[in-house]
Amino acid sequence: MFEEQRLDADPAAGEPVSEQQEPDVVVHLREQLAAATARADENYNRFLLAAADFENYKKRTERDFVKILTDRRRAMLERFLPVLDNLERALESDGAGETLRNGIEQTLRGFKAVLDAEGVKPIDVGGKTFDPQVAEAIGTAQAADGVADDTVVEVTQKGYTIDGELLRPAKVIVAKHSEPPESP
């Protein structure tokens, strides 16, 4: 990097240095110092860029890890929802004995507790205005008097959220008033 400079005259040894030699040496040393400083600045800038890239990499990796974990958790919980649906249907049937019913109720409470601990909450859409963001209309029914169009009259399958995000939309029947016949 730095080249050795040797002057013919040595001021420490008492040999005189000509006025012309001194400015050339100083100029040359200043040029070397400027070149070394430029290289140091360039290396420092590269270091800063590498440090920033590494910080961005760490943040991106952490975000990707959280997304993968959330996606896998979501997929696992989606597999439990049909079991929950079946337990709820079994409780609705009248054919089971009291002991079986108690066992199913206990199992259902356990499932709900696990889902609740995982941040899974049911969506309450019954009797409310249909919202396509949280429900899927699978049919319509004749609206009773006093019931507005697009009101959910029956929930055929509950919808759920996980940590405030939609996990599964509710499947619902929506009220519709019959259209009056068109006059010619």
Q: Is the pLDDT of residue 138 over 90?
A: yes
Q: What is the three-class DSSP state of 141?
A: strand
Which range, of 11-25, 38-52, 137-151, 154-168, averages the lowest pLDDT? 11-25
* Residue 29 is assigned to a structural domain of this protein: yes
Q: Please name the amino acid found at residue 73.
A: R
Residue 46 and residue 108 share a domain? yes
> Do residues 129 and 167 both lie within one domain?
yes
The domain in which residue 72 lies consists of: 17-118
For position 145, which CATH number holds?
Answer: 2.30.22.10
- How many C-alpha atoms does 25 have within 13 Å on its Cβ side? 13
Picking from 9-13, 55-59, 69-73, which range would have the lowest pLDDT averaged per residue? 9-13
State whether 145 and 111 are in the same domain: no
Do 41 and 79 belong together in one domain? Answer: yes
Cβ neighbours, 10 Å, residue 131: 15
Which range has highest mean pLDDT (74-78, 99-103, 146-150, 166-170)? Answer: 166-170
In single-letter form, the type of residue at position 171 comes to K
